Chains A and B, each alone.
Chain A
């Protein structure tokens, strides 16, 4: 039953690609029918930066603060994903013994400690 369901996700993905492609194809059809213009010139196809000519390529260096948040995200999101199996089984485990609460608290504590550490080191400031 379950693998069959995952196959349906694939079918949905196929149509998720075809669905937005349809208007693009229609648009191209209008171009073929010479209804839609296509006359690029150097000014039109310049990067639009409010009328000022672009200073070089934008594929350069950028501020490192984005990396801090990206790393923080990777750490936290992976930890949260690990919590999901626990959450799904929590009720059954708690019925056996309440020890599951302490074990979960330990894991969530690591998460909270990481957050507190990052906060303390001012990694959460947007500078």
Chain B
């Protein structure tokens, strides 16, 4: 099977459409090369029409406005431009993302997914939104009406605010504060409030159960998240997200490689923070209907569903920024606009999240809590100790950075493998859990779903 047809099947596109897609990509690449040539020539660097970094254009705008008006105007205008950019991207993601997710999940399950509304089913999310808006909104009889109304809006606050300090390019950070990491932790923990408010105000046993579980789980996984980011701060010596990306760019090393334990801990714990499979026990539909948003209907339920996607994408952006080099791509960012690099990395992390959702079953609540407190927190604490020693050696050792850094990278990867292979606890209980039964997920090297679909197709 050629790579081309494999790609075509993964995207469920015919050869003609695939060719059109390839042509469009080639055209974009060619345009980029032309722009890159001009840039390398040095004519574009730092000017306002340098599209690789929209920060230049905003800086020019600010200077022009400051020349004719009081500084308050330029402040508000640039702030609104930034907010418009963030919300525009978020809106696009919310519309496109639900199509992407359903389409990918369908491919994982050898289905086709939504393909009726519009070309390739692209208008499906729009149709869904329109449908949800027309639905009757029911308020349960015993509900606390004020508290019931707030959560659908309040759940958006952390997901939007967390976009603030994410650097899109060297000069393209909306909220370039020097306590960025703390800000992200503080803002993301706000989500607990909204979800508990939703579960409590509904006056429904299932909703309350879901909310209690959510709070217990999010609160527990908050600690590994903070500890993982602590080791990032230890190495880079800054809490500013743009500086963290700059560190990775200067050292030509992604922190995800240097700190694999922190990376994996952060990634897994964050899936609990945003209630995604395999950690979506808060809305285990086989046990507690839909958890905290059982009683929500119409557009309010739609907002809860939409923000799950928004959370996944902002998690992708944070993982990309902290651990995967952010906008930097080993020098290629002078050719490709850095914000596209960040978007691509975000999309890659999001793909992994969808992949996990399509592959893994849901953990039980006691397994999840045990995993956080008895495994992730101890190894995170140990990891902080190891990284602190390494950071001290790094500043005191009189050697070029590449020697200690590569040594530490290898050491930390070995430690991460050891943690995963030898220290991982067996999931307790379960119907067929005996000693010796293997619970470890098996990583297959072939595209199992594609092979299976081929067999189905070739069968008489």
Contacts and interface: CB of A to CB of B under 8 A. Distances in A.
Contacts of A91: 234, 237, 391-392, 394-395
Interface string A71-112: 011001100110110011111101100101100110010011
Contacts of B385: 105, 108
Among all A-B residue pairs, the 10 with the closest Cβ atoms: A16-B160, A126-B366, A94-B392, A87-B233, A20-B156, A73-B219, A27-B299, A91-B237, A47-B204, A80-B226
A34 B258 CA distance: 59
Contact of A124 (B176, B205, B227, B370): B370
B86 interface: yes
B63 to A, nearest CB: 16
B413 interface: no
B417 interface: no
A81 B226 contact: yes
Contacts of B366: 126
Contact of A15 (B83, B135, B137): B83
A23 B129 contact: yes
A30 to B, nearest CB: 6
A79 B80 CA distance: 37
Interface string B386-417: 00110110111000000000000000000000
Interface stretch (B98-106, B374-382, B443-451): B374-382
Interface of A: 2, 4-9, 11-13, 15-17, 19-21, 23-24, 26-27, 30, 35-40, 42, 44-50, 54-55, 57-59, 62-63, 66, 69-70, 72-73, 76-77, 80-81, 83-84, 87-92, 94-95, 98, 100-101, 104-105, 108, 111-112, 115, 118-119, 124-126
Interface of B: 75-76, 79-80, 82-83, 86-87, 90-91, 129, 132-142, 152-153, 155-157, 159-161, 163-164, 174-178, 181-183, 185, 200, 202-208, 212, 215-216, 219-220, 222-223, 226-227, 230-231, 233-234, 237-239, 289, 294-295, 298-300, 302-303, 307, 365-366, 369-370, 373-374, 377-378, 381, 384-385, 388-389, 391-392, 394-396
Given A27-B133, A47-B295, A101 B215 contact: no
B301 to A, nearest CB: 11
Given A73-B222, A80-B223, A80-B230, A94 B395 contact: yes
Find the residue from A2, A24, A30 having the highest chain B CB count within 10 A: A24
17 contacts: A8-B174, A17-B156, A47-B140, A55-B205, A58-B204, A72-B373, A73-B219, A73-B223, A84-B181, A87-B231, A89-B237, A94-B391, A94-B392, A98-B392, A100-B392, A108-B385, A124-B373
A23 B299 contact: yes
A46 B204 CA distance: 9
Main secondary structure on B side of the interface with A: helix
B87 A15 contact: yes
A111 B153 CA distance: 36
B163 to A, nearest CB: 8
B161 A9 contact: yes
A6 B75 CA distance: 12
Given A36-B137, A94-B395, 11 more contacts: A13-B161, A19-B91, A20-B303, A26-B133, A45-B141, A48-B140, A48-B206, A49-B204, A62-B208, A77-B222, A90-B237
Find the residue from B159, B231, B234, B374 having the highest chain A CB count within 10 A: B234
A46 B141 contact: yes
A84 B230 contact: yes
Contact of B216 (A57, A69, A90, A112): A69
Main secondary structure on A side of the interface with B: helix
Contact of A21 (B153, B182, B307): B153
Contacts of A27: 132-134, 137, 298-299
A70 B211 CA distance: 13
A26 B172 CA distance: 32
Find the residue from A19, A72, A104 having the highest chain B CB count within 10 A: A19
Contact of A36 (B79, B135, B163, B219): B135
Nearest to A126: B366
B269 to A, nearest CB: 13
Contacts of A58: 202-205, 207-208
Contact of A88 (B161, B163, B237): B237
Contact of B177 (A5, A16, A54, A80): A5
Given A19-B87, A23-B303, A66-B212, A47 B136 contact: no
B230 A16 contact: no
Nearest to A26: B133
